[in-house]
Structure 1
Amino acid sequence: MGRKRMEEQWWKGELAADIHQTLRTKELKLPMYKAHSPQIGMRRYFIDLLTVLSNRCNLCPTARHLAIYLLDHFMDRYDITVKQLHIISFACLLLASKFEEKEDKVPKLEHVNNLACMCNVNVVLNKKDLLRMEMLLLENFNWNLCLPTPAHYIDYYLCVSIGENDLHNGWPITSLTKTKDFLEKYAYYFLDFSVQDHTFLHFRPSLIAAACVCAARICMQISPAWTTQLELLTCYSWEHLAQCIEMMFIYYENDIKEASNLKKQVTIQHQEQEAVENLSHQATTQVLFQQSSYHPLAQHSATLSQFQSPVQDLCSAYRDSLQAHRPSGLLAGSADSSLHSYATLQASLRPSAQTLPIQTPIAVQVALGTEPRHCISTACGSSYFSGHHSYTAGCFDG
């Protein structure tokens, strides 16, 4: 998944340490995530939707992660109907882009509507309703959008992600620049993993960013997995990161299995189509169409087969080390039990849900697939907002 660096690379400036310390102080005041939303089953779909929209708008990772953070905590505070979640998601994305990007990078309302249509979301937003939703979001976050996410830390930690004394497969690293470039891609790969499951919200954002760097070093077989320099910069030891890293590798292995199963399904479909065409060819004297030998995963199959086995072995080896350092808390037991422990933790956090103060909802027709990540087909009608939220001026260009 591609990403774009912001022009102001604060992590390379003279004030980098001060900015990092400020972010670490602010993250201590972040509200606790309780995973209490009745629509939490729809979360993965809306995360994927925000990811697609932010990539098409070429937004920076911090804007995307801030939008997801706003959506998560807003859903966690209110009992929101599925009919309203699309408007809220778009408002979160636009608010985050206004806060993290320059003015000329903020998506226009017309562009967002076009992208929503391309994603099979038949929602037509208007300025008035969207502005009211933005005002409601700002009021709920006390007009404070300076909320640290893992994306705010990761570039700072990547600055010291590779050192001259590091080893690759037990040998000195010949090119620090190339190795760091590959490690950066791995780190952002795990960073994207961190928003796929809400259980990662129980970790501090800075810890997740540090765990992404460490997990990337493990995947690339860089030793040691965690250096003294990284520990001093992040203020996290291996013991602090072990729980989060183990969860990342669990989801990473599941991702590899899903890719492998998808490859098998495509191969089977391809073989079935070839068999049908062969029968048709025997019954006719002329072949009008020939089945293409290309399928979407063909170009990645060789890489996947070479990459999957050593990483699984590496995960097993580091799980043994994780087992040795594992505290007696959430991760007691096997890797699977760690997820059940997180579910137990979430189940114990059940305050009463509030009702979102929005009246006369828009008319929306929703068609859900069997999996949350499928697109939702909707059709919007009139405004569903009450008129008691005041605002000053418009935020959008035509």
Structure 2
Amino acid sequence: MGRMRMEEQWWKGELAADIHQTLRMKELKLPVYKAHSPQIGMRRYFTDLLTVLSSRCNLCPTARHLAVYLLDLFMDHYDITVKQLHVISIACLLLASKFEEKEDRVPKLEQLNNLAYMCNVNVVLNKKDLLKMELLLLENFNWNLCLPTPAHYIDYYLFASVGEKDLHNGWPITSLTKVKAFMEKYAYYFLDFSVQDYAFLNFRPSLIAAACVCASRICMQISPSWTTQLQLLTCYSWEHLTQCIEMMLIYYENDVKEASKVKKQITLQQQVVGSVNHQTTTQVLFQQSSYHPLAQHSTALSQFQSPVQDLCSAYRDSLQAHRPSSLLSGSASTSLHSYSALQASLQPSVQTLPIQGPITMQVAIATEPRHCISMAYGSSYFSGHHTYTARCFDR
């Protein structure tokens, strides 16, 4: 699935409908997520960690979403310590990248260790431990990583997200290319929100992807909000999507309000600083230029509401000053913007990496049935009869 995505845009090919139907059939067999993990309060922190690591490794969205989903399923059945969760999270990212990406794009061990250290993750991985953790995960998932996520559907639905007969603010659309570009930004914005809250796991992945498109049409004021063509393509009516869309729009509204609030605070601070500078300056040497870098695009941009990423850029850049530097030291962040603080903490360091010995795991199966399983990495469970699917660290 991943290799086909990298080599060609399957959603534009002749087999797109067949591939979509196959994905829809596979999602019916997905495990039921029960949110039984004792560490569920740490989920947002590890989701943000995987998001930053995958972004730094330039992995595709399907790899990132699959990594988070693998972690969700594993945490839902096991009681694991925080230190062990760090290793498992990175192993999930590695497996997802091997499944979704080309071999030369799979992160290397040294790269993962450097990124983990920059994120203040007090874990040093070695080849032997990581490969054994991969085997533990593969055994847990019965060697089946073909698990559809919303990211696997989004491009297929976006390809038909806007039609020639659609209206923007009641007027015909003059440029489908520009509208689709904005639509993609909005859809991926909602897609990122869906992975941050485990409540979205109550919906099927295909429904979440369809809701991302519908919520984007609503925010861009494109009518009708849901077309017959999209209903036939996704097999979801407006009634099916209502609950999921409502959750997304609540996130969107809160994010916009927070962005506007912080943006006003920054503007006020700039005005205060400017007024002080004006009072202390005896002579004005330069006048402020009236040139704006986006002026040449203002006509096109004014037709639509700007994506929330643009609206939020000002306050997200200032989060580092308001967030504690210990965000990644082991405690979860429950705010909507911990991901931004996580990115801000990625500053190279000249300190030497701490050296640790092999990690021994104590794993207890969650709630039903919670048997205690004690496994050391050197045990016979990981004997030599296993063959590794991709020895990316041997190169």
How high is the TM-score relative to the length of structure 1?
0.73
Distance in 2 (alpha carbons) for counterparts of 1:381 and 1:277: 52
AA of the residue aligned to 2:211: A
Number of the residue aligned with 1:392 = 387
Distance in 2 (alpha carbons) for counterparts of 1:266 and 1:379: 39
Alignment of 1:315-326 (within 5 A): none
Answer whether contact 2:219 2:305 (CA < 8 A) is retained.
no
Distance in 2 (alpha carbons) for counterparts of 1:136 and 1:380: 24
In structure 2, relative to structure 1, the CA distance for the partners of 1:381 and 1:278 (3 Å cut) is farther
In structure 2, relative to structure 1, the CA distance for the partners of 1:123 and 1:157 (3 Å cut) is same
- Deviation track 1:160-186 (CA, whole Å, cap 9, x = no partner) reads 111111111111111112111111111
- Deviation track 1:280-318 (CA, whole Å, cap 9, x = no partner) reads x69xx9xxxxxxx9xxxxx9xx999x959xxxxxxxxxx
Distance in 1 (alpha carbons) for counterparts of 2:133 and 2:87: 8
Q: How far is the alpha carbon of 1:258 from its aligned partner?
A: 2.4
Answer whether contact 2:6 2:102 (CA < 8 A) is retained.
no
AA of the residue aligned to 1:396: F
AA of the residue aligned to 1:99: F
Q: How far is the alpha carbon of 1:25 from its aligned partner?
A: 0.5
In structure 2, relative to structure 1, the CA distance for the partners of 1:106 and 1:266 (3 Å cut) is same
Higher mean C-alpha deviation, range 33-42 or range 266-275? 266-275
Fraction of identical pairs, as percent: 74
Number of the residue aligned with 1:95 = 95
Q: How far is the alpha carbon of 1:93 from its aligned partner?
A: 0.6
The equivalent position to 2:331 in structure 1, one of 343, 354, 368, is 368
Distance in 1 (alpha carbons) for counterparts of 2:13 and 2:122: 44
Distance in 2 (alpha carbons) for counterparts of 1:121 and 1:141: 26
Answer whether contact 1:122 1:380 (CA < 8 A) is retained.
no
Q: How far is the alpha carbon of 1:271 from its aligned partner?
A: 6.4
Question: 2:31 matched to 1:10?
Answer: no
Q: How far is the alpha carbon of 1:270 from its aligned partner?
A: 5.1
AA of the residue aligned to 1:249: L
Q: How far is the alpha carbon of 1:42 from its aligned partner?
A: 1.3
In structure 2, relative to structure 1, the CA distance for the partners of 1:244 and 1:382 (3 Å cut) is same
In structure 2, relative to structure 1, the CA distance for the partners of 1:129 and 1:157 (3 Å cut) is same
In structure 2, relative to structure 1, the CA distance for the partners of 1:173 and 1:129 (3 Å cut) is same
Question: Mind listing any 5+ residue stretches in structure 1 that lack a counterpart?
Answer: 286-292, 294-298, 309-364
Number of the residue aligned with 1:140 = 140
- Deviation track 1:214-233 (CA, whole Å, cap 9, x = no partner) reads 11111111111111111001
Number of the residue aligned with 1:333 = none
Aligned residues: 321
Number of the residue aligned with 2:167 = 167
Q: How far is the alpha carbon of 1:10 from its aligned partner?
A: 1.1
Distance in 1 (alpha carbons) for counterparts of 2:96 and 2:112: 14
How high is the TM-score relative to the length of structure 2?
0.74
Number of the residue aligned with 2:369 = none
Number of the residue aligned with 2:116 = 116
In structure 2, relative to structure 1, the CA distance for the partners of 1:369 and 1:194 (3 Å cut) is closer
Distance in 1 (alpha carbons) for counterparts of 2:39 and 2:124: 22
Distance in 2 (alpha carbons) for counterparts of 1:123 and 1:271: 45
Number of the residue aligned with 1:242 = 242
Question: 2:127 matched to 1:127?
Answer: yes
Q: How far is the alpha carbon of 1:33 from its aligned partner?
A: 0.9
In structure 2, relative to structure 1, the CA distance for the partners of 1:370 and 1:6 (3 Å cut) is closer
Answer whether contact 2:63 2:101 (CA < 8 A) is retained.
yes
Q: How far is the alpha carbon of 1:122 from its aligned partner?
A: 3.8
Distance in 1 (alpha carbons) for counterparts of 2:332 and 2:47: 16
Alignment of 1:319-358 (within 5 A): none
Q: How far is the alpha carbon of 1:366 from its aligned partner?
A: 4.7
Number of the residue aligned with 2:82 = 82
Q: How far is the alpha carbon of 1:212 from its aligned partner?
A: 0.5
**Match of 1:146, SS?**
coil
Alignment of 1:198-237 (within 5 A): 198-237=198-237
Answer whether contact 1:131 1:395 (CA < 8 A) is retained.
no
Q: How far is the alpha carbon of 1:274 from its aligned partner?
A: 6.9
Distance in 2 (alpha carbons) for counterparts of 1:366 and 1:118: 11
Distance in 1 (alpha carbons) for counterparts of 2:182 and 2:96: 28
In structure 2, relative to structure 1, the CA distance for the partners of 1:90 and 1:369 (3 Å cut) is closer
Number of the residue aligned with 2:358 = 383
Answer whether contact 2:42 2:331 (CA < 8 A) is retained.
no
**Match of 2:196, SS?**
coil
Answer whether contact 1:208 1:244 (CA < 8 A) is retained.
yes
Number of the residue aligned with 2:291 = none
Q: How far is the alpha carbon of 1:263 from its aligned partner?
A: 2.4
AA of the residue aligned to 1:397: D
Q: How far is the alpha carbon of 1:264 from its aligned partner?
A: 4.1
Q: How far is the alpha carbon of 1:379 from its aligned partner?
A: 6.1
Distance in 1 (alpha carbons) for counterparts of 2:250 and 2:147: 28
Number of the residue aligned with 2:58 = 58
In structure 2, relative to structure 1, the CA distance for the partners of 1:267 and 1:38 (3 Å cut) is farther
Question: 2:261 matched to 1:261?
Answer: yes
Distance in 2 (alpha carbons) for counterparts of 1:247 and 1:217: 15
In structure 2, relative to structure 1, the CA distance for the partners of 1:367 and 1:66 (3 Å cut) is closer
**Match of 2:7, SS?**
coil
Number of the residue aligned with 2:25 = 25
AA of the residue aligned to 1:157: Y
